């Protein structure tokens, strides 16, 4: 018998309980043992829950119960969750987490602690919700030296951008709709300002390149400033605006990582990822490009990833999953300034003025553009160069082209 304790009975935690129950028969069969939910930790009371006999309010009951093999942390944040995760690992219990903030900020330490205690710390659900991505990175692509990862990592912002592109809603209108549909929090900052995508690209970078990348090392730009004018200009040349998290292997063990809205060409499969879906494209030196696509959030998809980790651990409690990475360092991450690309520019100027600065620009047009507004694509150049040329102009938008 393998006993599981769930910390936090919110959306993901209750989903994990549901999947463990609904699919209990096939889970037991796959593990070749009985996987049982023993405790659910939550400060609230759930007198009508089918799991009502499992609820406890004191973590030490779980911590001190030697029968508990696997602790599922779906609390979120990096305070209580850090405390409980640390104590669970020290108590010799493997921990499965959906908490990207905790992994992105303390992943290295917690992985070290897990190894020191002969247990595992797995967090497939922390990136891409239900999409299998971390385990494929570690195992299926193990024959590759990975060179880059590019992801639509946040369903809320992708929903908002999709509604702007397809329904012509403004950012504010699309955000309100996302909130009404339960896709965005009342305080949407973590999503729309790119912090959620930032945490996820940190985890992907660490697994891909082997060293911890901290969120505060990763320049992060959200989508608040994207307008319908930008959407229209992008559409005019066959591009879609997407918020991308990107990480690229650099010489001498360095990593380039950042989060920013991009113009994505229509023939890139990432351009077709719509609504709350996520997709992660990975490039390796043998496989070339491969992409993983699915629901990046939601109760049951995320629970699917959590329970896959539970099954993996339950099959062999003491096996080292080797999902370790090395420590970070202050100079690990290099600026995206080193990354040359085309740029989309929207500026209040004349085309003649723009051509004086960018002789080989590709002008863009949209219906209803106000007098004096122009937009164009540059040739490939680095960000400092494009900014230097634009200095003194009234720049409305500057977005990288993927």
Q: Which residues bind a second copy (CB under 8 A)?
A: 15, 19, 22-23, 26-27, 30, 32, 124, 130-132, 135-136, 139-145, 267, 269, 272-274, 284-295, 298, 300-301, 303-308, 310-312, 315-316, 319, 322
Tokens of 348: 């209040």
Nearer to a second copy by Cβ, of 286 and 371: the residue is 286
Nearer to a second copy by Cβ, of 143 and 352: the residue is 143
| 3-class SS shares of the chain: helix, strand, coil, % to 5 | 40, 25, 35
**163 φ/ψ angles, rounded to the nearest 5 degrees:** -70, -35
Least separation in angstroms between CB 162 and a second copy: 11
Least separation in angstroms between CB 240 and a second copy: 12
Least separation in angstroms between CB 212 and a second copy: 18
- The catalytic position among 38, 100, 200, 240 is 200
Q: What is the DSSP letter of 341?
A: B
288, 212 in Cβ contact below 8 A?
no
361, 243 in Cβ contact below 8 A?
no
Nearer to a second copy by Cβ, of 107 and 284: the residue is 284
239, 401 in Cβ contact below 8 A?
yes
Segment holding 31, helix H or strand E: helix 24-31
List strand residue ranges (DSSP E) for 187-287, in order: 239-249, 255-265, 277-284
Least separation in angstroms between CB 365 and a second copy: 25
End-to-end CA distance of the chain: 50
- Residue 200 bears catalytic tag: yes
Nearer to a second copy by Cβ, of 20 and 374: the residue is 20
Annotated catalytic residues are 200
């Amino acid at each position: 018998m393998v006993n599981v304790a769930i910390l936090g009975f919110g959306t993901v935690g209750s989903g994990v309980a549901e999947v463990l129950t609904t699919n209990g028969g096939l889970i037991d069969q796959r593990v070749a043992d009985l996987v049982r939910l023993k405790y659910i930790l939550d400060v609230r009371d759930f007198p009508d829950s089918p799991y009502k006999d499992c609820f406890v309010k004191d973590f030490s009951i779980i911590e001190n119960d030697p029968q508990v093999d696997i602790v599922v942390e779906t609390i979120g944040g990096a305070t209580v969750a850090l405390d409980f995760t640390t104590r669970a690992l020290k108590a010799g219990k493997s921990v499965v987490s959906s908490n990207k903030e905790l992994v992105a900020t303390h992943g290295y330490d917690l992985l070290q602690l897990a190894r020191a205690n002969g247990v595992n710390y797995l967090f497939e659900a922390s990136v891409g919700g239900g999409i299998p991505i971390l385990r494929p990175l570690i195992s299926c692509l193990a024959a590759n030296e990975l060179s880059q990862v590019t992801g639509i990592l946040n369903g809320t912002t992708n929903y908002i951008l999709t509604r702007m592109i397809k329904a012509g809603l403004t950012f504010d209108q699309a955000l309100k709709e996302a909130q009404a549909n339960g896709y965005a929090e009342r305080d949407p900052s973590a999503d729309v300002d790119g912090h959620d995508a930032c945490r996820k690209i940190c985890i992907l970078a660490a697994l891909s390149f082997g060293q911890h990348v901290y969120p505060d090392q990763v320049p992060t730009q959200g989508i608040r400033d994207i307008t319908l004018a930008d959407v229209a200009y992008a559409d005019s040349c066959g591009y879609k605006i997407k918020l991308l998290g990107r990480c690229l292997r650099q010489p001498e063990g360095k990593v380039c990582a950042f989060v920013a809205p991009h113009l994505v060409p229509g023939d890139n499969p990432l351009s077709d990822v719509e609504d709350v879906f996520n997709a992660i494209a990975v490039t390796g030196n043998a496989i070339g490009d491969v992409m993983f696509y699915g629901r990046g959030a939601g109760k049951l998809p995320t629970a699917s990833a959590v329970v896959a980790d539970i099954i993996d651990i339950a099959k062999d409690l003491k096996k080292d999953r080797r999902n370790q990475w090395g420590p970070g360092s202050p100079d690990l991450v290099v600026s995206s300034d080193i990354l040359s690309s085309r740029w989309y520019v929207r500026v209040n100027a004349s085309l003649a003025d723009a051509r004086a600065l960018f002789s080989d620009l590709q002008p863009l047009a949209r219906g209803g553009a106000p007098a004096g507004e122009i937009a164009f694509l540059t040739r490939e150049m680095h960000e400092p160069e494009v900014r230097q040329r634009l200095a003194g102009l009234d720049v409305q938008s500057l977005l990288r082209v993927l």
